[in-house]
Amino acid sequence: QVQLVESGGGLVQAGGSLRLACVASGRYRSTISNNGMAWFRRAPGKEREFVAAIGWNGGNIRYADSVRGRFTVSRDRAQNTVYLQMNSLQSEDTALYYCAKGRGAVSGSDPTGYTAWGQGTQVTVSE
């Protein structure tokens, strides 16, 4: 079974940047190379929300309206890693960020379309 481990979170001032990474590991290392991947987040007291998704080959990229133009999702299939570059961070971006493995080659914003989740990495943006 694949394991997803996020890293790169931290405390940053508003307007700053962070780059999150999600590394997949497990018995079969190619367990995410043919799957769509996504980032979700959960802010304190709020529901989990979709942030960004990327298809198996780096295409079919989608963003939530709230992050479009500020965040960039990418992946390195050879390294079994998915990234989320976050620029112009705002206090509203404070949340626990999770990566998720999609059921198929292309994935969307519905969390039921994902079969594996990481534990999350905390992002805190201060004013």
Min mean pLDDT across 47-56, 85-94, 102-111 is at 102-111
- Chain-wide mean pLDDT for the chain? 94
Q: Could you tell me which residues are beta bridge partners of residue 7?
A: 21
pLDDT tens-digit series, residues 53-97:
999 999 999 999 999 999 999 999 989 999 999 999 999 999 999
Between 19 and 30, where is the model more confident? 19
CA distance 37 to 83: 10
Which residues, other chains included, contact 83 with Cβ-Cβ below 8 Å and sequence gap of 6+? 19, 20, 21, 22, 73, 74, 75, 76
Spatial distance between the Cα atoms of 73 and 83, rounded to a whole number of angstroms: 6
**Would you state the pLDDT for residue 29?**
53
Tokens of 76: 């390195």
pLDDT band at 27 (very low <50, low <70, confident <90, very high): confident
Cβ-contact 55, 41 below 8 angstroms? no
Q: Are 16 and 86 in contact (CB under 8 A)?
A: no
pLDDT of residue 26: 80
pLDDT at 33 over 60: yes
